[in-house]
Amino acid sequence: MRARRPEGRWLLAAAVAALVVVAVVAISLLVWSGMPADQKGAVSDAVAGQILTLLIGAALGVAALVAAVARLVGRYTATARRLTAETRLLLEANPEHRLDRSGPAELTELATAVDDLAERRRVAVREVDSHIRAAQASLTQERNRLAALMAELAAAVIVCNVDGQILLYNAAARSVLGDDAAVGLGRSVFGFIDRDLLAHALDRIEHDSATSSHVAITVRGEQLLQVRVAPFRGPDGGITGFVLLLEDLTDRMNRSTRRDDLLRDLTEGTRSSLASIQAAIETVMDYPDMDADERRQFLGIVREESHLLGRRVETWVAESGAHAGAEWLPTEMSVADLLAVVCRALEREGTVAVSVRHGAADALWVRVDSHALARALAQMAGRLHDEVGVGELTLAATPDGSHAQLEMSWPGPPPRPARFQAWLDQPLTGLAASSARDVVARHGGEIWSGGPAGAAPDLRLLLPLTEAEPQPAPHTSLDLASRPEFYDFGLFDRQQQSLAWADRDLGDLSYTVFDTETTGLDPTGGDQIISVGAVRVVNRRLLRNESFERLVDPQRRVPASSTAVHGITSEMLVGQPTIDVVLPAFARFAADTVLVGHNVGFDMQFLRLAESRTGVQLTQPVLDTLLLDAALHPHHDEHSLEAIAGRLGVAVLGRHTALGDALVTGEVFLGMIPLLQQRGITTLGEASAASRVTLAARLDRSLYNS
């Protein structure tokens, strides 16, 4: 966008003055040529005597003429430019805007005519909108029904496009993941689901015509998630997205573990009580001549242990019912996740120290009952600890043809072969399978102990890969055509681009519009952030339900002068998290988005100082609505948030609260995008460049480097 040079009107004025001078000189020469000789002499003598005065007068006259013409031209051009900018504003952003009718009479008439034309346009638009609303009434009603149904579903549902960008989700999905920053429109599912899982699921579905969905398990922190993946196909049959059904299996794992502990307590307690009862009875029978007091003592032991045994059984019956149904069905999972589950089971046992050595096999997939395998290996580790003295184990996996080989190695001696075989046949606590050997056999695998000569002893478990023996995954039929796309129908066509930030179109980017409130105006003088508010903009829509609002303990008093502006007192901040906690949470919320704020250099100064303390870096680009408005409306003197909102027809509510200001700024920014595009500013790089050439940016360029 090129600005017109202000000296243009002076050049025009000089040209007009030059024409006037040329005309005067030409007329003077014509008059001179027609004079008699005696008159020419008299005129020459008169002019020669006043030559200096005439030259000064002529120069002053020309200067006055130039100034008058420049003022007249400047008045017309400034008014014309203002009317042009306001007309664009009326057409692109605020149809209710009325043009300023001050200025020359001819341009005032033009402004009146434009306002009349705009009013006719407004009437026509209202009529068209009325017809559209009437035509869409039934569609909206049906859409709302689908939205209500989706919101009430107990199943956690997420819909994403082929690039993993979230297009739709329900409240159950956010509840399962338990993190406000994990789920949101436009966010990536790869923040909580491994990218290889979707690729693996797609490969399985494409190569098995009988499979319409795929089930797998993945580990997310302390969570174990079951993910059912079903493709969403477009009109041409190509896959345009995925429907994901999530289930948190962590509670089932905990219930199964608790049931195992109950059964272990019952088994060990019963063995101890029966041993005591047997010893007491045998003593009484072996010594029939013992005195009455000793006999009563041994019978008391029998009575006490019998009661204790009865209470254990009652406890088992009472509690085992609450943990019934915790058996897991075999499910596909990556070898890396299987190692994580086994490691977690060994750590819960607490008998040995465990480490995991990752390798090439981690990306392989197996179909397993992970709980049964984990229990079997945990029991083998317990035997190694109790009978061989092993205190440290290392888990690893290697590819072996069509199988994955899990290795559990340790420093120290190996178990005797006969003893190891006996361990494999010992019953496993709390599982339907009778032994570790049965668990391995059920998976079609092999287990042995040994290792190359001179190497550390190990236990090896060989499991078939899913690609070697494909099995149809259990699935529920999904009516994909009826899935409500009530959040945004157009996002299926908006696959994430792999362009650099600067080359991305403004309409294709996701934004985090934010604002802060502080104890004062001097970040380097000790003032601190006391509130952060933000809202996301995705696909040119302000997502009010995806907001971020946190109070921050500044660990200092809030001055009364600052409280008078934002209403936040020191007492309100007692017990709130510090910026060391809030900034990482905000960084997660704003990940992979462009930051937007009004007079954002002020907020960024505070955040950059906090970055140095927390180690969190906000590396994404930043846009400032103040600078953008200065680029769009250079002839307006007022660029405050209220002034811009007024020009764009945005209602100002909740002013001087962090979230309230963020919401207003978001509405303002959305109104600016079509105005920028109308000026030829369509990419982020062009918007940043337009901001940097404004006067406000030149005052402190360092604040606005993106």
328-347 pLDDT, tens digit each: 567 788 888 888 888 888 88
Residue 697 CB-half CA count within 13 A: 23
**Range 33-47 average pLDDT:** 70
Using DSSP's 3-state secondary structure scheme, residue 186 falls into coil
Q: d(Cα 540, Cα 527) in Å, to the nearest integer?
A: 35
pLDDT band at 580 (very low <50, low <70, confident <90, very high): very high
Which token pair is 421?
């075989």
Give 551-558's long-range contacts (Cβ < 8 A, gap of 24+): 551/576, 552/528, 552/576, 552/577, 552/578, 552/579, 552/582, 553/577, 553/578, 554/519, 554/528, 554/529, 554/530, 554/579, 555/528, 556/519, 556/526, 556/528, 557/519, 558/519, 558/530
Q: Please state, in angstroms and rounded to a whole number, the distance separating the CA atoms of residues 585 and 582.
A: 5
pLDDT of 100 over the 80 cut: no
pLDDT digits 0-9 by tens, 112-126: 777 778 778 778 878
Taking the C-alpha atoms of residue 339 and residue 219, their distance in angstroms, rounded to an integer, is 10
Element (DSSP H or E) covering residue 336:
helix 335-349
pLDDT tens-digit map of 615-624: 888 888 999 9
Mean pLDDT of 433-446: 81
| pLDDT value for 552 | 94
Q: What is the pLDDT of residue 628?
A: 92
- Asked whether the beta carbons of 694 and 654 are under 8 A apart, the reply is no
392: number of Cβ within 10 Å: 13
Question: Residue 554 has which token pair?
Answer: 């500044």
Identify whether 656 is a catalytic site residue: yes
Cα angle: 580, vertex 581, 587; to 5 degrees: 95
Among 179-188, 474-483, 636-645, which stretch is predicted with the lowest mean pLDDT? Answer: 474-483
For residue 501, is pLDDT > 90? Answer: no
Which amino acid does the sequence have at 96? E
Is the C-alpha dihedral spanning 8, 9, 15, 18 positive or negative?
A: negative
Nearest to 147 by CA among 176, 165, 170: 170
CA gap 502, 143 in Å, rounded: 37
Task: Tell me the pLDDT band of 144, cut-offs 50, 70 and 90.
Answer: low
* Helical spans, DSSP H, in 207-334: 250-286, 292-320
Domains along the sequence of the chain with CATH: 1-134 (no CATH), 153-249 (3.30.450.20), 252-323 (1.10.287), 332-464 (3.30.565.10), 499-704 (3.30.420.10)
Q: What is the pLDDT of residues 295-326, one digit of tens each?
A: 788 778 878 877 787 777 777 666 654 444 44
How far apart, in whole angstroms, are the C-alpha atoms of residue 636 and residue 629?
9
Could you tell me the pLDDT band of residue 655, with boundaries at 50, 70 and 90?
Answer: low
Mean pLDDT of the chain: 77
Specify the DSSP class assigned to residue 706. -
- Please give the single-letter amino acid code of residue 500: A
Q: Specify the pTM.
A: 0.56
Asked whether residue 694 carries a pLDDT value surpassing 90, the answer given is no
pLDDT band at 577 (very low <50, low <70, confident <90, very high): very high
Diameter of the chain by CA atoms?
177
d(CA 221, CA 610): 27
Catalytic residue among 131, 358, 635, 656: 656
Higher-pLDDT residue of 294, 462: 462
Are 380 and 436 within 8 A, CB to CB? Answer: yes
Q: What is the pLDDT of residues 180-236, one digit of tens each?
A: 667 888 788 888 887 878 877 887 777 766 567 788 878 777 778 888 888 887 777
**pLDDT value for 126:** 80
pLDDT of residue 241: 85
Please tell me the predicted confidence (pLDDT) of residue 74. 65
Residue 89's nearest CA partner among 683, 624, 600, 645 is 645
* Mean pLDDT along residues 473-485: 33
Give the percent of the chain with pLDDT over 90. Answer: 13
Average pLDDT over residues 381-406: 88
Neighbours of 405 (CB within 10 A): 18
Name the least confident of 58-67, 346-355, 440-449, 620-629. 58-67
Quick one: average pLDDT of 527-551? 90
